[in-house]
Chain A
Amino acid sequence: MSPATGVAARGLALGYGGEPVLEEVDFSAGAGTTVSVLGPNGGGKTTLFKGLLGELAPVRGTAATAGRPAYVAQTDRTRLDFPVTALDVALMGSLARGRWWLPPRRSDRALAREALERVGLADEAFTRFGQLSGGQRQRTLIARALVQDAAVLLLDEPLAGVDPASADRIEAVFAELRAEGRTLLVSTHDVESAARHDLVLCLNRRQVAFGPPAEVLVRQTLEATYGSEIVVIDDGTGSVRAIAVGHHAH
């Protein structure tokens, strides 16, 4: 049951053997949509991504995506000591496009260079991955996802610990991808940035809420999602500003 476009989950429950750690997930997002995924650590964001990738078989319900999603993890999950350049990493995306057991084609290389240009790293193509800054590394991983040319992209806290210039560049790329008709799921701790996306999905071991930011980013929902980890600033104009006090210890 693969949707023609985007992402769909129906009555989804996911677990690692034993009790499910994430339940009652029911949402769908079509082409050209960005969804920000909010929730505390351990709330199920990464689990959801694994389920959408097909790494975890659903305990109940279904999860479906248009084609195999591109997954961008945080850079501290990668090996910084590997002897690979930014170009090599971007080129890894072409493994998803076809016969991975053959050497990369010229067209693959051209795509990789283009992708690096799109994220503003054309000059760093031959720099070793481990020598790039945090923001540059994150952009390289996004370039890899671009080369993959997937209809759906799952990004795990792509802006965490990234310098403002890189963050701006990354957000500009998100806007481009959205305009191209792709679907992006972006997990984040930044409630403010969630307001800028089309849809918001709140997870705390189950789906707390799903919908446009105006509907979802209200006090009750945020407190149900984050529990005591949230600081809500009500400036009296009716909308709420909130700061999630999420820690980045994984």
Chain B
Amino acid sequence: MELLDLLLEPWRSGLERRALIEVVLLGLACGPLGFWVITYGLSYPAESLGHGLLPGLVIAALAGAPLLLGAAGGVAVGAAAVALAAHDERIGPDTATAVVVTGLFGAGTLIALSPDAPARLEELLFGDPLGVSDADLVAAAALATLGTLALAALHRPLCAVALDGPGATALGVAPARVRAGLLALLAAALAVAVQGLGSLLVLALIVGPALAVRRHARAPTRAMLAGGAVAALAGVAGLYASHHLGSAAGASVALTLCVAALAGAALPVRRAAAARARPGGG
């Protein structure tokens, strides 16, 4: 049957099979995390860290080292640099992040575009799901499991600080530490996911699914589960589109994630959910 053929085709190739598994694992890992990233207003830091880790990626690629190592190093350096630069109140975190990210991203590009360097910049920028190795799959699986465990363990502190920052301290929760933990999780997710979607597009995986479900699922657990599901489904859909349309895999996955976000934002909210969600008073 034609439809069945269409659905089964990608699974026949080992490359694409691995890509599908990778995308599903990444979706399950990043979708739930995205709920907290948006709730804590960390979209801009996420975007910036994604760009800022590029030099790490490039150096790893040139040195023949595993990209995950480069990404992890890049994220660590980027986060530290932003934290340092943001210290100056005259500049402010917004501008400090811009300066650091511009410098790091420029440095990565500079190294990658040097005449004698092997040209892999496109893949590092826009992702290469089809280039996924077994090691990458293991990393993605590790992120999915460990990340979920971490989110489960941090669930109550995350909720407490999000709902009532100053009050959380009274409950024995330190907002600064919770935020730092969330950032660490975000950094890990970025480092693993960047292999699939690339430095420029990885944000779609973190933020897209969460935006898609935000208006429809308000409770944290429900939103996280829905986010994970949407992320995995959208990722798979993106790979199918790439397979049948012949478009770049990473970019196709990123686009489907964004389309999902747009659809979720545009779809009318179910009445019961809307009534519960309406804020009381001005």
In the assembled complex, B281 has its CB within 8 A of some CB on chain A: yes
Residues of A within 8 A of B (CB): 15-19, 21, 81, 83
Report yes or no: A16 in contact with B89, Cβ–Cβ below 8 A.
no
Q: In the bound complex, do residue A18 and residue B281 qualify as a contact, i.e. CB atoms below 8 Å apart?
A: yes
Candidates B90, B92, B282; contact of A15 at CB < 8 Å? B282
> B-side interface residues toward A, CB under 8 Å?
89-90, 92, 281-282
User: In the bound complex, what is the Cα–Cα distance between A16 and B89 (angstroms)?
Assistant: 32
Whether B90 lies near A19 (C-beta < 8 A) is: no
9 more contacts with CB within 8 A, not counting A19-B281, A21-B282, A83-B90, are A15-B282, A16-B282, A17-B282, A18-B281, A18-B282, A19-B282, A81-B89, A81-B90, A81-B92
Q: Tell me, in angstroms, the Cα distance from A83 to B91 when the chains sit together.
A: 11
Write out the residue numbers on chain B whose beta carbons fall within 8 Å of the beta carbon of A17: 282
Contacts across chains A and B counted by CB atoms under 8 Å: 12
Q: Which residues of A contact B92 (CB under 8 A)?
A: 81
* Chain B residues, CB < 8 A from A21: 282
Taken together as a complex, chains A and B put the C-alpha atoms of A21 and B281 apart, in Å, by 9
For B90, list chain A residues within 8 Å (CB). 81, 83
Can you show 10 pairs from A to B with CB atoms below 8 A apart? A15-B282, A16-B282, A17-B282, A18-B282, A19-B281, A19-B282, A21-B282, A81-B90, A81-B92, A83-B90
Chain B residues near A81 (CB-CB < 8 A) = 89-90, 92
- Cα distance, A243 to B89, chains bound together (Å): 37
Q: How far is the CA of A18 from the CA of B281 in the complex (A)?
A: 7
Which of A15, A17, A19, A81 has the most chain B CB within a 10 Å cutoff?
Answer: A81
The 9 closest A-B pairs by CB, nearest first: A18-B282, A16-B282, A81-B90, A81-B89, A21-B282, A15-B282, A19-B282, A17-B282, A19-B281
Task: Report the minimal beta-carbon distance from A46 to chain B, rounded to whole angstroms.
Answer: 13
Contacts of A15 on B, CB cut-off 8 Å?
282
Chain B residues, CB < 8 A from A18: 281-282
Q: Whose C-beta in chain A lies nearest to the C-beta of B279?
A: A18
In the bound complex, CA of A206 to CA of B21 (Å): 62
Residues of A within 8 A of B281 (CB): 18-19
For A83, list chain B residues within 8 Å (CB): 90
Closest B residue to A15 by beta carbon equals: B282
Task: Specify the chain A residue showing the minimal Cβ separation from B89.
Answer: A81
CA distance A15 to B281 in the complex (A): 11
CB of A66, distance to nearest CB on chain B (Å): 30
Q: How far is the CA of A17 from the CA of B279 in the complex (A)?
A: 13
Cα of A236 to Cα of B157 in the assembled complex, Å: 52
Nearest chain B CB to A13's CB is how many angstroms away? Answer: 12
What separation, in Å, do the CA atoms of A21 and B92 have in the docked complex? 34
| Minimum Cβ distance to chain B for residue A79 (Å) | 10
What's the Cα separation between A83 and B92 when bound, in Å?
A: 14
Which chain A residue lies CB-closest to B90?
A: A81
Q: Give the distance to chain A from B88, nearest Cβ to Cβ, in Å.
A: 9
Residues from chain B with a CB closer than 8 A to the CB of A19 are 281-282
> Within the complex, what minimum Cβ distance (angstroms) separates B175 from chain A?
16
| CA–CA, A183 and B17, complex, Å | 77
Docked pose: A15 CA to B90 CA in angstroms: 35
Q: What is the CA–CA distance of A17 and B281 in the complex, to the nearest angstrom?
A: 10
Query: For residue B89, which residues in chain A have a CB less than 8 angstroms away from its CB?
Result: 81
A22 to chain B, nearest CB (A): 11
